[in-house]
C-alpha cells in the first residue's frame, strides 16, 4: 500500500517553509498595483525635497498616516480636483472634506491638524521680527490662514513700538461677502495689548481682492478712531485666493 494514502504519513509542510513563502509575499499578479509606491514617494521626498513632488503626491503622503493599507493616490487627486490645490484642501472645513467619498472624520481631522501646525509655524516665524521688513512672510502667513476661508474674516495684527508682532487675532467672522467691524472694539483691544500700530487684514471668499467702497470707508473710520490714541494703521490688506490688495499700496489710505 502507498504510504501517502495514510493521512498520518502524508508529506507535511513545515512551519519554516510556510514562513518562507509568507516572507517572499504573494505572486506578483496578486500584489496591489501600488506595491512599493509609498516607498518610492518617501525616497523621492528624502532625496530631492518637497519641491520634487506634485501637490497630490504630498497629499498622498499625508494620507498615509490614516490609510495604512490603501492606495491614496485617487483620493488625493479627488481632493485636489475639488479644492483646487493642497492649500485649498488643508484650509477646507471638516464638513466639506467629509463630503468627498473616502474621507472620514479621522482623515479630515488629521488634515486640519496639519493645517493648524503649518499656521503655527508660519506665525512663529513672524515673532520677534519687524513686520514691515518681513512683508512677504506676512503675506504668506495671511494667505495661508485666510485665502480659502468660505466666509469673510476680519483679522488684526497688533504691533509694538518696534513693529514686532504682539498678537494676531481674528476679530470677527461674517458671511460670504460681509464682516461687521466695530472701530471702538478695535481701539479697545489695541489699548489692552499696548499696541502702537496695527495691520488690518480680511479676506474675500469670492477670490477677487479688489477693495470695495465699504472696505475703504471702514478703514478710514478705524483710522479716525485710533489716530487720537496714538495708534497707527500701517495697512489694510485684502486676501483673495490668487492674490492680495493693499489699500496703502493703492494709495487709498
Q: Read off the pLDDT of residues 190-202 as tens digits, 9 standing for 90 and up.
A: 999 999 999 999 9
Q: What is the pLDDT of residues 132-153, one digit of tens each?
A: 667 888 888 888 888 888 889 9
| Residues 6+ positions from 162 with CB-CB distance below 8 Å | 130
Mean pLDDT of 83-96: 88
- pLDDT for 128: 66
- pLDDT for 16: 40
- 131-246: CATH superfamily: Cytidine Deaminase, domain 2 (3.40.140.10)
Which residues of 32-96 form beta strands (DSSP E)? none
CB 235 within 8 A of CB 224: no
Q: Is the pLDDT of residue 13 over 80?
A: no
Q: Where are the domains of the chain?
A: 33-120, 131-246
**Spatial separation of the C-alpha atoms in residues 95 and 118, rounded to whole Å:** 20
Confidence of residue 234 (pLDDT cuts 50, 70, 90): very high
**Spatial separation of the C-alpha atoms in residues 62 and 56, rounded to whole Å:** 10
Percent of the chain topping pLDDT 90: 41
Q: What value does the mean pLDDT of the chain take?
A: 83
| Residues 6+ positions from 3 with CB-CB distance below 8 Å | 9
3-state secondary structure of 66: coil
- pLDDT for 22: 40
Find the range with the poorest average confidence among 4-8, 132-136, 148-152, 154-158: 4-8
- pLDDT for 149: 86
pTM of the model: 0.68
- Cα-Cα-Cα-Cα torsion 238, 244, 247, 252, nearest 10 degrees, comes to -110
Q: What is the pLDDT of residues 18-49, one digit of tens each?
A: 443 443 444 545 555 555 787 788 888 888 88
Percent of the chain topping pLDDT 70: 84
CATH topology of domain 33-120: DNA polymerase; domain 1 (1.10.150)
Reduce the secondary structure of 160-228 to three states and give it as a string.
Answer: CCCCEEEEEEEEEECCCCCCCCCHHHHHHHHHHCCCCEEEEEEECCCCCCCCCHHHHHHHHHHHHHHHH
Tell me whether strands 153-159 and 197-203 are parallel, antiparallel or unpaired: antiparallel
- pLDDT for 235: 94
Amino acid at each position: 500500500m502507498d504510504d501517502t494514502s495514510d493521512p498520518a504519513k502524508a508529506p507535511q509542510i513545515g512551519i519554516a517553509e510556510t514562513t518562507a513563502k509568507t516572507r517572499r509575499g504573494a505572486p506578483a499578479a496578486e500584489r496591489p498595483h501600488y506595491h512599493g509606491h509609498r516607498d518610492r514617494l518617501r525616497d523621492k521626498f528624502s532625496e530631492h525635497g518637497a519641491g520634487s513632488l506634485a501637490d497630490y503626491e504630498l497629499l498622498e503622503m499625508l494620507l498615509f498616516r490614516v490609510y495604512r493599507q490603501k492606495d491614496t493616490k485617487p483620493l488625493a487627486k479627488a481632493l485636489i480636483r475639488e479644492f483646487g490645490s493642497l492649500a485649498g484642501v488643508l484650509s477646507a472645513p471638516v464638513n466639506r472634506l467629509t463630503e468627498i467619498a473616502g474621507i472620514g472624520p479621522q482623515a479630515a481631522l488629521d488634515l486640519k491638524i496639519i493645517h493648524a501646525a503649518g499656521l503655527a509655524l508660519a506665525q512663529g516665524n513672524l515673532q520677534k521680527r519687524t513686520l514691515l521688513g518681513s512683508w512677504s512672510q506676512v503675506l504668506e502667513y495671511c494667505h495661508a490662514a485666510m485665502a480659502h476661508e468660505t466666509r469673510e474674516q476680519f483679522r488684526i495684527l497688533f504691533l509694538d513700538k518696534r513693529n514686532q508682532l504682539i498678537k494676531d487675532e481674528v476679530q470677527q467672522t461674517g458671511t460670504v461677502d460681509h464682516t461687521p467691524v466695530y472701530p471702538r472694539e478695535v481701539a479697545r483691544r489695541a489699548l489692552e495689548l499696548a499696541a502702537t500700530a496695527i495691520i488690518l487684514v480680511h479676506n474675500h471668499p469670492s477670490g477677487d481682492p479688489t477693495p470695495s467702497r465699504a472696505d475703504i470707508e471702514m478703514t478710514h473710520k478705524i483710522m479716525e478712531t485710533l489716530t487720537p490714541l496714538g495708534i497707527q494703521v500701517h495697512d489694510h490688506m485684502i486676501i483673495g485666493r490668487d492674490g492680495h490688495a493693499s489699500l496703502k499700496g493703492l494709495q487709498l489710505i
